[in-house]
Amino acid sequence: MSEEQIQYVKKATMQMQHRRMTKKALLRRSVFLFLGAVLMSIGLEIFLVPNKIIDGGITGISIILSYLTNIQVGIFLTLLNLPFLFIGYKLIGKTFALSTLFSILVMSTGTYLLHPVKELTNDPLLAAVFGGIILGIGVGMVIRFGGSLDGTEIVAILVSKKIPFSVGEIVMFFNLFILGSAGFVYSWDRAMYSLIAYFIAYKMIDVTIEGFDESKSVWIISDSFRQIGEAILDRLGRGVTYLEGEGGFTGDNKKVIFCVITRLEEAKLKSIVDELDPAAFLAVGNIHDVKGGRFKKRDIH
């Protein structure tokens, strides 16, 4: 065989291996999205909804509307989240939109099937604690694997570009308004239980996805740095910086890619790097503050 033929065989073999790995990764993502959506259904229908306790965001609005109209909460969760699928597709990408759609459909089906099931406890404190734990783990799993079960963050990302507030602050204001509404719809003690459930769910999301910060720093070392950098620019719309590095063991010169992304973009960035160089070194860290540049103004394609 000639050198060109050998290189062609190596390339074809790597492509086949990558396809198998991609299918495995897709299956893994689907399983965890499914499990996360099911856990959220359990947290809602077995603990929170029967005890008149709400969560923040679209979920809280859906629970209140379900109580006022006597229509199952899963229907409102689906209808209210559908508009954000299109926004999420434009803002983050196709993979995010499909993952979100799959998760919402599983969650809605789960709430429908679990609706006739009797609640495990009538104690509102136990319901708030365990409902918050299960709900938070479920939402965290879905977010960690590239989806979303609530359109609040998508709206917050869009609004943050127009007003001088961060995504986290907008989400907090929005949720405080919704949780406060529980006092008028149910009673003020239920509103306080709802705050407990929301706080616990918030912390469990934090634990599940290992960091609730909106911004993350990314360091990538790869021989395919140029292709990866251009893909991040074209497909994520994020600026990258090429840094000079030196291998500690080999002494070889290395190019290091540095960029800052949002938490919702992390899954897509990892898929880009895995697609172009499965052997690349990738490090992702939380950032507590981002200042300067055009980070907040950059659109995501």
Per-residue tokens: 136? 């938070």
For the chain, counts of helices (H) and of strands (E): 10, 4
Per residue in 168-196, pLDDT (tens digit) is 677 778 888 888 888 888 888 998 999 99
Condensed to tens digits (0 to 9), the pLDDT of residues 15-56 reads: 444 444 477 778 888 898 999 999 999 999 999 989 989 888
**Model pTM?**
0.64
Spatial separation of the C-alpha atoms in residues 281 and 279, rounded to whole Å: 7
Could you give the C-alpha distances from 59 to 83, 135, 290, 300, in angstroms and in order?
Answer: 15, 11, 29, 26
Residues 277, 258: Cα–Cα separation, whole Å:
16
User: Are 171 and 54 in contact, with CB atoms under 8 Å apart?
Assistant: no
Task: Give the separation between CA 217 and CA 59, rounded to whole angstroms.
Answer: 30
Find, among 71, 67, 178, 196, the residue nearest to 124 by Cα: 196
CA distance 120 to 7: 62
From CA 257, how far away is CA 30, in angstroms rounded?
29
Max CA separation in the chain (angstroms): 79
The amino acid present at 79, given as its one-letter code, is: L
Alpha carbon distance 56, 123 (integer Å):
20
Mean pLDDT confidence for 112-120? 86
Pick from 199, 194, 200, 168: nearest CA to 179:
194
Between the CA of residue 29 and those of 19, 140, 147, what are the distances in Å? 15, 13, 10
pLDDT digits (tens, 9 = 90+) for 200-258: 988 888 777 654 446 788 999 998 999 999 999 998 888 898 998 877 777 778 889 99
Mean local confidence (pLDDT), 295-299: 49
End-to-end CA distance of the chain: 43
Q: Which strands form 281-287's sheet, in the order they lie side by side? A: 241-246, 253-262, 215-221, 281-287
What six digits make up the tokens of 277? 């160089």
Sign for the pseudo-dihedral over CA of 224, 225, 228, 230: negative
pLDDT of residue 112 exceeding 80, the answer is: yes
